Amino acid sequence: MPQQEAIKAQVIREFEAQRRVTLLRQRTQQVVVLIGFSALIAVCFHVSGFFSGSQGSDPWGRIANLLNIMIPDLKPEALFEDRGTAGSLSSWFYDMPTWLALLWETVQIAIVATLFGIFGGFWASLLASKNLSPSPYIYWLTRRTLEVIRTLPDLIVALILVAAFGVGPLPGVIAIALGTMASLGKLYSEVNEAADMRPVEAVKAVGGSWWAQVRFGILPQVLPHYASYGLLRLEINVGGAAALGVVGAGGIGIELSRAITYTEFDTYFALLILIIGLIILIDLVSEAIRHRLIGLEATA
Amino acid sequence: MTTSAVLVAPHPVTAQEMQAARAIAPHLVDTPLAVHARRLALWIGLSAVFITLCIGVDMTPAAFAKGLSKLADFMGGMFPPNAAGEEVRILQALAATFAMAVAGTFLGVLGAIPLGLLGAKTFVSNPVLHFLIRRSFDVFRAIPALVWALILIVAFGLGPFGGVIALALTDIPRIAKLYAEAIENSDPRPQEGIRATGGQRRAAIRFGLLPEVLPVMASQSLYMLESNFRNAAILGIVGAGGIGFELEERIRIFAFDQVAWIVIAYVLCVMALDYVSENIRSKLVHG
């Protein structure tokens, strides 16, 4: 019996030792990861000028000052007077007709770019989905091309296109359409790959061409998803189009950049309010349409 | 058991068969003229709207062709890509852009944690308040980083500081929304178990909620880092420095061989970051 007790104690001792080693290894690993992570964060903040103090000694004071110059001097008694009266709402939004025209241009850019993006994304997705692509090489090539386009931000593309097409909405439309095509191409190809292949096989079995297989086998299944993703993308593109003007590619952004150049910070604030209003409006419309689409799908 | 009869190839439909089909279900064989007309009118109307919109944004074949020839010239000038002896400077700018993205994401995550809790149904159960909080996330999510950066650069001066704050402001509503969803989708049972054994609310959060949502939140933060690396590259255009500034400078002087070099280096960096981040994310989520 005492021999058995000794073996038991030995086993427990060994287990304890092993556990200590494992714990120590885990703790060291955690400490190393934590130190490495903190070091990375610290270096990044240092490189970004957070500790050098070059942005003034009083950041909170600066933020307060910024808010102060952004908020217009509205006078309650003159709120609804005409544009000439200082302190009225219409003197704050003093260039409303131009801004509304530019907001409409922003929406137009977003809509046209989204439509072209949907069209391009549809064709790209046919080549980039495993179950429909005519050849594995084309599949691979399309996927990689879409990936490369997705890595490039719209505004960088717009910057290059403005140099080629000149200042105006056209380079903005092309830049956003390219980005939309690349991201929708990927999403659409995933939808295509998830589609039921039996209708396609049926069309193929009765001698349908490749286009007939896509048109009657795939499209009826995927169209609601396509439309839903397209509308989501439209919401994103309205925000994106609002920034385009800063690089000269059309839309409300040109006024944002002008307001900053002429140090009209209250105008900037007014434009920001208009942009937010536009985004809310587009969101509501797009959501209503998407819900109807989902309803159609449910009843179909 | 398949009979050979099933496998017979379909024969061409005869006129007689069409006649029979028409007699049984005429509306399935011939589309009524009214339906045709309605479809045609719809297509013409939609096309007219589309063409009007296209003209509104100068998307005309003439303008397109004119720019395209110029663009072809630029493309020609891009080869061979050439850094003009400024490789080190460009790589430094890429590193600065990455640093800006990391700092911005970090601040964004810090700001989004309390907001994410506020946006989760499990913490703020009042439906009206919940709706308002989540809607405000949606609205602010759509404001591009560049719009924040324009004004913050004025406030904080040229340099990456304003850019970092702009990235953080853009991220906060986006991350807060993702966090709120992660918290809402967490399994309530571990928390209930801890409460049932007499644990405090704090203990329930620490041992019931955090182990479940932390990996998801970390994975979403990494995803935001990927998107911020792209956003940070843009901010250089309005004076936040980094790769965007180098790029804009060279586009302005039409040095497209250098532009091509920068774009290729940038795309490779983005792909490398995405690859590393994707690996870490799949490890985080799948253990």
Q: Binning pLDDT at 50, 70 and 90, where does residue A53 land?
A: low
Q: Would you kindly state where each structural domain of chain A is located, as residue ranges? A: 1-48, 96-299
Q: How far apart are CA B29 and CA B61, in angstroms?
A: 40
CA distance A271 to chain B (A): 10
DSSP per-residue letters across chain B: ---GGGGSPPPPPPHHHHHHHHHH-HHHHS--HHHHHHHHHHHHHHHHHHHHHHHHTT--HHHHHHHHHHHHHHHHHTSS---TT-HHHHHHHHHHHHHHHHHHHHHHHHHHHHHHHHHSTTT---HHHHHHHHHHHHHHHTS-HHHHHHHHHHHH-SSHHHHHHHHHHHHHHHHHHHHHHHHHTS-SHHHHHHHHTT--HHHIIIIIIHHHHHHHHHHHHHHHHHHHHHHHHHHGGGT--SHHHHHHHHHHTT-HHHHHHHHHHHHHHHHHHHHHHHHHHHHHHH-
Residues of A within 8 A of B270 (CB-CB) are 151
> Does B156 contact A161 at a Cβ distance shorter than 8 Å?
no
**CB of A241 closer than 8 Å to CB of A106:** yes
Q: Which two tokens stand for residue B250?
A: 């060279």
Mean local confidence (pLDDT), A39-61? 76
- Rounding to the nearest 10 degrees, give the CA dihedral for residues B173, B179, B181, B185: -170
Cβ A135 vs Cβ A160: under 8 Å: no
- Of A245, A44, A285, nearest to A159 (Cα)? A245
> How many angstroms separate the CA of residue A155 from the nearest CA in chain B?
7
Q: How far apart are CA B255 and CA A131, in angstroms?
A: 43
Q: Give the separation between CA A294 and CA A296, rounded to whole angstroms.
A: 5
Q: Under a CB-based contact definition with an 8 Å cutoff, are residues A156 and A246 in contact? A: no
**What is the pLDDT at residue A34?**
92
Q: Is the pLDDT of residue A279 over 80?
A: yes
Please count the other Cβ atoms lying within 10 Å of the Cβ belonging to residue B134: 19
Give the residue extent of every domain in chain B.
28-77, 87-286
Q: How far is B283 from chain A (nearest CA, A)?
A: 15
Q: Find the CB nearest B139 among A109, A112, A280.
A: A280
Q: Do A47 and B267 touch (CB under 8 A)?
A: no
Half-sphere exposure of A236 (CA within 13 A, CB side): 16
Distances (CA, A) of A176 to A76, A183, A268, B72, B191: 42, 11, 24, 19, 45
Residue-wise pLDDT for B192-239, tens only, equals 898 899 888 888 888 888 888 888 888 889 989 988 998 899 898 888
Q: Is A178 in a helix, a strand, or coil?
A: helix
Contacts of B95 (CB under 8 A, 6+ apart): A47
The structural architecture, per CATH, of the domain A96-299 is: Orthogonal Bundle (1.10)
Please state, in angstroms and rounded to a whole number, the distance separating the CA atoms of residues B52 and B274.
40
- Residue B72 CA to residue A263 CA, distance in Å, equals 38
Tens-digit pLDDT profile for residues B156-188: 878 888 889 899 999 999 999 989 888 888 888
A108-164 pLDDT, tens digit per residue, is 999 999 999 999 999 999 999 888 888 889 999 999 999 899 888 888 899 888 888
Please report residues of A whose CB lies closer than 8 A to that of B154: 66, 260, 263, 265
- B258-284 tens-digit pLDDT: 889 999 999 999 989 988 988 888 888
Of the candidates A231, A280, A278, which has an alpha carbon nearest to the alpha carbon of residue A107? A278
Residue-wise pLDDT for B31-49, tens only, equals 778 888 998 999 999 999 9
- pLDDT bracket for residue B2 (50, 70, 90): very low
From chain B, the residues in CB contact with A40 under 8 A are 102
Put simply, the answer to whether B151 touches A62 (Cβ < 8 Å) is: no
Give A29's Cβ-side CA count (13 Å radius): 6
Identify residue B163 by its one-letter amino acid code: G
Q: Which residue has the tokens 């935001």?
A: B224
A54, A159, A279: residue with CB nearest B251: A159
A244-256: per-residue pLDDT in tens?
Answer: 888 888 888 888 8
Please tell me which residue of chain A has the smallest CA distance to B74. A164
Dig out the tokens for B26 from the structure. Answer: 């005429």
What are the Cα distances from residue A27, in Å, to A15, A198, A283?
A: 18, 54, 48
Place of tokens 């003197």: A91
CATH code for the structural domain at B87-286: 1.10.3720.10
